[in-house]
Structure 1
Amino acid sequence: MQSISDPSLKRYTIAGLIFVLITGTLAHFAYEWSGCNRLLGLFFPVSESTWEHMKLVFFPLLLYSLFMTHKLKDSYPCIRCSLMCGIITGTFLIPVIFYTYSGILGRNYMFLDIATFTVSVIAAFAVIYRLTGKCTYNGKCIPLVTVLLTITVAVMFAGFVVFTYAPPQLGIFEKPAETTAGSFKSLFFNYS
Structure 2
Amino acid sequence: MNNMLLSPEFWFIIGIPITFLLGSLAHFAYDWSGKSVIVGIFTPVNESIWEHLKLSTYPTFIWYILGILIFRDKVNLYIWAICSVISVITSCIVITCFFYTYTGALGIQSLFLDIFSLFLGLSIAQCLSLHIYKYATLIMLHFYLSIIIGSLIIICFTLFTFLPPKLPIFMDPITKQYGIH
The TM-score range, normalised by the shorter chain, is 0.7 to 0.9
Letter of the 1:109 counterpart: S
Q: 1:70 & 1:89 partners in 2: Cα distance? A: 23
1:149 alignment partner, one of 146, 150, 153: 146
Letter of the 2:46 counterpart: S
SS in 2 for 1:106: coil
SS in 2 for 1:17: helix
Task: Tell me the equivalent position of 2:85.
Answer: 84
Q: 2:104 & 2:120 partners in 1: Cα distance? A: 18
Q: CA deviation at 1:91?
A: 2.1
Q: 1:32 & 1:74 partners in 2: Cα distance? A: 39
Structure 1 residues 44-79: Cα deviation after superposition (integer angstroms, max 9, x where no partner): 000000000000000010011111123335433222
Q: 1:62 & 1:108 partners in 2: Cα distance? A: 29
Task: Tell me the equivalent position of 2:44.
Answer: 45
Task: Tell me the equivalent position of 2:167.
Answer: 170
Q: CA deviation at 1:110?
A: 1.1
Name the stretch that deviates more: 83-92 or 58-67: 83-92
SS in 2 for 1:133: helix
Task: Tell me the equivalent position of 1:133.
Answer: 134
Is the 8 Å Cα contact of residues 87 and 126 (structure 2) preserved in structure 1? yes
SS in 2 for 1:161: helix
Task: Tell me the equivalent position of 1:113.
Answer: 114
Is the 8 Å Cα contact of residues 13 and 127 (structure 2) preserved in structure 1? no
CA-based RMSD of the aligned residues comes to 1.8
Letter of the 2:45 counterpart: V
Q: CA deviation at 1:85?
A: 0.9
Task: Tell me the equivalent position of 1:19.
Answer: 18
SS in 2 for 1:42: helix
TM superposition score normalised by structure 1: 0.81
Is the 8 Å Cα contact of residues 54 and 92 (structure 1) preserved in structure 2? no
**Unaligned regions of 5+ residues in structure 1, if any?**
1-5, 180-192
Name the stretch that deviates more: 124-133 or 68-77: 68-77
Residue pairs, 1:63-78, within 5 angstroms: 63-77=62-76, 78=79
Report how many aligned residue pairs link the two structures.
170
Q: 2:37 & 2:174 partners in 1: Cα distance? A: 24
Q: 1:37 to 1:178 in 2, by over 3 A?
A: closer
Q: CA deviation at 1:177?
A: 5.2
Is the 8 Å Cα contact of residues 76 and 133 (structure 1) preserved in structure 2? no
Task: Tell me the equivalent position of 1:122.
Answer: 123
Q: CA deviation at 1:178?
A: 6.7
Q: 1:73 to 1:127 in 2, by over 3 A?
A: farther
Task: Tell me the equivalent position of 1:182.
Answer: none
Is the 8 Å Cα contact of residues 61 and 87 (structure 1) preserved in structure 2? yes
Q: 1:178 to 1:106 in 2, by over 3 A?
A: farther
The share of aligned pairs that are identical, in percent, is: 32
Q: CA deviation at 1:14?
A: 2.9
Name the stretch that deviates more: 122-131 or 48-57: 122-131
Q: CA deviation at 1:173?
A: 0.5
Q: 2:75 & 2:148 partners in 1: Cα distance? A: 21
Is the 8 Å Cα contact of residues 48 and 176 (structure 1) preserved in structure 2? yes
